[in-house]
């Protein structure tokens, strides 16, 4: 891949990740159901686009496990998106399935030594938080995507992980300019 294409891919992926982080947190905070669904839909589309691009990027780079992690993340986010329009209660099954996939994806992305140790450790912690939340939901606990403490307090960890990925992409971008 030529350097210009590489830089553009990094910028587009970083933008999608940023859109996902910002709109996802905003959707968690607002209480109006239609606005919440809209913000989460924008969040999901940004994350699916970005993680799909990152799948291609890391496949080309020969980092198959990380590429698989980003692919699983894109699938998990797509599952979550499929239930977003159903509202908080209606989205519970797709949310439980999607965050289970997030947890698996975060482990796949965080185990190889491509990202900094801090980003990887936060990614693993995030995976644990979402795995626990998903397991509780599959065991019948009526948790909403906005329930506190979990999953609500897992989102900041996910955003920190995403910021770590963005930082990686932008630093890599700087190295290729």
pLDDT digits (tens, 9 = 90+) for 87-125: 989 999 999 999 999 999 999 999 999 999 999 999 999
Ramachandran category for residue 62: left, alpha or beta (phi over 0 → left; psi -120 to 50 → alpha)? left
**Which residues are CB-neighbours of 81 under 8 A, at least 6 positions away?**
40, 41, 44, 45, 48
Q: How far is the C-alpha of 146 from the C-alpha of 88, rounded, in Å? A: 8
Enter the pTM of the model.
0.94
The whole-number pLDDT of residue 172 equals 85
Higher pLDDT, 150 or 174: 150
18 pLDDT more than 70: yes
How many CA atoms, within 13 angstroms, populate the side-chain half-sphere of residue 97?
13
Q: Which of 20-25's residues contact partners 24+ apart within 8 Å by CB, and which partners? A: 20/44, 20/46, 20/47, 20/50, 20/77, 20/162, 21/158, 21/159, 21/162, 21/163, 24/155, 24/158, 24/159, 25/155, 25/156, 25/159
Counting beta carbons within 10 angstroms of the beta carbon of residue 32, is it exposed (0 to 12), middle (13 to 18) or buried (19 or more)? Answer: exposed
- Residue 174's pLDDT is 62
Query: What's the pLDDT band for 175 if we cut at 50, 70, 90?
Result: low
Burial (CB < 10 A; 0-12, 13-18, 19+), residue 113, is exposed
């Amino acid at each position: 891949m030529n350097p210009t294409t590489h830089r553009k891919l990094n910028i587009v992926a970083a933008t999608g990740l940023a859109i996902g982080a910002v709109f996802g947190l905003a959707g968690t905070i607002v209480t109006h159901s239609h606005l919440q669904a809209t913000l989460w839909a924008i969040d999901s589309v940004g994350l699916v686009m970005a993680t799909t691009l990152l799948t291609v990027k890391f496949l080309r780079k020969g980092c198959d496990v990380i590429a698989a992690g980003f692919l699983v993340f894109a699938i998990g986010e797509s599952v979550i998106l499929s239930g977003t329009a159903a509202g908080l209660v209606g989205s519970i099954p797709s949310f439980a399935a999607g965050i289970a996939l997030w947890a698996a994806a975060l482990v796949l992305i965080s185990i190889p030594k491509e990202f900094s140790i801090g980003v990887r450790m936060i990614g693993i912690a995030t995976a644990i938080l979402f795995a626990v939340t998903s397991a509780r939901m599959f065991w019948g606990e009526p948790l909403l995507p906005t329930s506190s403490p979990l999953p609500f307090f897992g989102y900041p960890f996910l955003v920190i992980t995403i910021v770590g990925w963005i930082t990686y992409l932008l630093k890599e971008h700087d190295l290729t300019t």
